[in-house]
Structure 1
Amino acid sequence: MCKQNKLFKYSAVIALSALSFSCGGAEEKAEESDSEPMEDRIQLVQDEVAKKVDVIIDGKFFTSYMYPDSLEKPVLYPINTANGTAITRGWPITPRPGERVDHPHHLGLWFNYGDVNGLDFWNNSAAITDKTKYGHIVHKSINSVKSGNEEGVLEVSLDWMNDKGEVLLTENTTFIFRGKDDQRTIDRIATLTAPNGEVRLTDNKEGMLGLRTARQLEHPSNKPEIFTDASGKATDVPTMNNEGITGMYLSSEGITGDDVWGTRGDWVSLSGKIGDENISVAILDYPSNPGYPTYWHARGYGLFAANPLGQKALSDGKDELNFKLAQGESATFKYRIIIYSNENVMDGQVNRDYIEWAK
């Protein structure tokens, strides 16, 4: 773990330069300073050695796109509020006291699926030794890195592969990072293409855009539970100390708490407090996405996921999709993640933001 922690440490170094004025040249120096271009508010900093791209907004670390070989898929990790508070769970990379240690594949913000031509991409992690029934996503290239005053844009290419190194899907994804005042936004636009033959994404509850939240944003744990994945592997989620645990889900359909799981909606928000900071995290679906409006695979223990393709599993058999791509066919999945800080969004703010974005 120490070796892994060292690999994933990030740093945001802000260089400050001071102007020195001589007695006779102060006005001239000031004029020269005024003519210098302003630094972009949203900085994307690529680190090829550490295999990451840091996102800095107004001089504060926001998140990193991370693609080390030790992970089975690239992730955004950690993700911070405008105040610098991490909304993502630290374990297994940078564990914090009192965190859960279940589901090692739940890391940061990720995008994958539990059944791609019969292979499980969702549950794969370093904890899995026999990879024959699992797929993994390999970062292939960074195609564009653009900082800016209003937004930062990162474009990447990925391959969805089996354990033999064969490519089932290619993924071209654009991340758009924005931030102003107490709000931070991530747009994740992923286009999947089947280059080598038909690809079946059979209905499965393990999908698709996932976020694992910090312990404080979980629902209070009232009883121990056991969750079973699609292959029948069970994970025990025990009852824990609920001090400071304040999370609550709310869907666009007005459904709250654990009842959000297995329902459809345009968006879901998760609100709570970390210390004295009021925080809400919202995931927004998009009308052109396959399976719209998405089903929500949202659990009180901190898994917050939108799953548009697992309809049979999440509807108790009432709906069925069995999405597939013919050879050469593509599909695009577009989501927005909003992190609100120091504000309460239970009054319709998320719905207003959704309408503005979706139109």
Structure 2
Amino acid sequence: MSGNAIKQLLLLIAATLVLSLPPAVMADIFMIKQVDGGLEVIKDGKLLTRYLTKSGAKPVLWPLIGPHGNEITRAYPMRDAGEHERNDHVHHRSFWFTHGNVNGVDFWAETEGHGNIIHKGFTIAKGGDTAVIETKNDWVDSKGKKVCEDVRRLTFGKSGGAYWIDFDTTVTASEGELLFGDTKEGSFGVRVAGTMKVTSKMGGKIVNQQGDEDLQAWGKASPWVDYVGPVKGNTVGIAIMNHPTSFRYPTYWHVRTYGLFTANPFGLHHFKNSNDVDGSHKMAKGETMKLRYRVYVHKGDTEAAKIAAQFKVYQGVKK
């Protein structure tokens, strides 16, 4: 048998093995696909999200697809505002991590003089039973001067009819002394779909571990918060959980009834409405800060999705 014939036979065997896998096995496999501007994360043969290396001033995930196949984060400004969306806060880009005061530079807003988070490369991009994307990023001011750097790892996995994204980042004071300032404008989170937000009055609801709801959940420290609401006739939720090994666990929450939903361990004087507290964090050159979150995307409300139990599972994950 010729070398070419052997090669064709091996390809046929490999294809047969893939096609013969039970559907349940095939459904568990995540795939990573390179596309213009970043990567796609594929699950069950369908788009789950895209990692965009640059959207505005930073890398983001968009769109984020929910368990019923619909987008569950705001489309604007990547696309025109959708149902019950407003074209406000152009810097609220689906799923992101930044901060509003880093050595005096605003990486949060996209106004004049803002900083930029520059994607330097993918160090890991692999699929399988879970998918992992790891990147290196430089934080630079409006003149291009480097302020600090981060490595962020996103791990995608499934849990029954839900899925999760673990966002683990290490910020390094690579250039010298580094100060993450006390401001509510930060840091890690999402902007939910327009129909999910509480102010749309379609059933949207915010709840934290202690049971604080909607407006009362803003500025509180809690291990987790769940934002639930309707999308295309189905109730879905996005819960963000804070790992016990994360910096300043449990984090405080800058979560708004108009759809903004972020974890922020720095903005204490805003959250406590007091100038007697300071949530700033200073690092010497070479020091690091680790922030760890799980975004848990689920069907149904907080109780139906057993978010308290899911947090216990996440709490036990070794980091």
Q: Same fold (TM over 0.5)?
A: yes
Measure how far apart 1:92 and its partner are: 1.2
Match among 61, 69, 72 for residue 84 of structure 1: 69
Helix, strand or coil: the match of 1:67?
A: strand
Structure 1 stretches (4+) deviating beyond 3 angstroms? Answer: 29-32, 34-40
Helix, strand or coil: the match of 2:174?
A: coil
- Post-superposition Cα deviations, 1:249-281, rounded to whole Å, max 9, x if no partner, equal 010111011110011100000111113211011
Alignment match, 1:288: 245
Residue 98 and residue 350 in structure 1: after superposition, are their counterparts in 2 closer, same or farther (change >3 A)?
Answer: closer
CA distance in 2, matches of 1:306, 1:217: 18
Residue 218 and residue 172 in structure 1: after superposition, are their counterparts in 2 closer, same or farther (change >3 A)?
Answer: same
Measure how far apart 1:168 and its partner are: 1.1
Match among 292, 296, 299 for residue 338 of structure 1: 296
Alignment match, 2:125: 145
Q: Does 1:264 align with 2:221?
A: yes
Q: 1:228-243 to 2 correspondence within 5 Å?
A: 242=201
Measure how far apart 1:293 and its partner are: 1.0
Helix, strand or coil: the match of 1:85?
A: coil
Residue 267 and residue 98 in structure 1: after superposition, are their counterparts in 2 closer, same or farther (change >3 A)?
Answer: closer
Q: Does 1:102 align with 2:88?
A: yes
Measure how far apart 1:345 and its partner are: 2.4
Residue 31 and residue 100 in structure 1: after superposition, are their counterparts in 2 closer, same or farther (change >3 A)?
Answer: closer
Residue 59 and residue 166 in structure 1: after superposition, are their counterparts in 2 closer, same or farther (change >3 A)?
Answer: same
Helix, strand or coil: the match of 1:189?
A: strand
Residue 56 and residue 347 in structure 1: after superposition, are their counterparts in 2 closer, same or farther (change >3 A)?
Answer: closer
Alignment match, 1:112: 98
Measure how far apart 1:30 and its partner are: 9.1
Measure how far apart 1:158 and its partner are: 0.4
Q: Does 1:45 align with 2:28?
A: no
Residues 220 and 246 in structure 1, CA contact (< 8 A), matched pair in contact too: no
Corresponding letter in the other structure for 1:101: N
CA distance in 1, matches of 2:147, 2:294: 26
Segments of structure 1 that go 5 or more residues without pairing to the other structure are 1-28, 222-241
Corresponding letter in the other structure for 1:167: K
Q: 1:7-86 to 2 correspondence within 5 Å?
A: 33-34=16-17, 41-47=29-35, 50-68=36-54, 71-86=56-71
CA distance in 2, matches of 1:97, 1:110: 22
Segments of structure 2 that go 5 or more residues without pairing to the other structure are 1-11
Measure how far apart 1:82 and its partner are: 2.4
RMSD of aligned alpha carbons: 2.0
Q: Does 1:161 align with 2:161?
A: no
Residues 249 and 260 in structure 1, CA contact (< 8 A), matched pair in contact too: yes
- Post-superposition Cα deviations, 1:41-73, rounded to whole Å, max 9, x if no partner, equal 1011112xx2111011111211111013x5200
Measure how far apart 1:321 and its partner are: 2.7
Residue 255 and residue 30 in structure 1: after superposition, are their counterparts in 2 closer, same or farther (change >3 A)?
Answer: same
Residues 265 and 294 in structure 1, CA contact (< 8 A), matched pair in contact too: yes
CA distance in 2, matches of 1:296, 1:357: 19
Corresponding letter in the other structure for 2:102: V
TM-score (norm 2): 0.88
Return 93-102 or 59-68, whichever deviates more: 93-102
Indicate the percent of aligned positions where both proteins have the same amino acid.
Answer: 32
Measure how far apart 1:220 and its partner are: 2.7
CA distance in 1, matches of 2:18, 2:236: 39
Residues 83 and 194 in structure 2, CA contact (< 8 A), matched pair in contact too: no
CA distance in 2, matches of 1:121, 1:32: 47
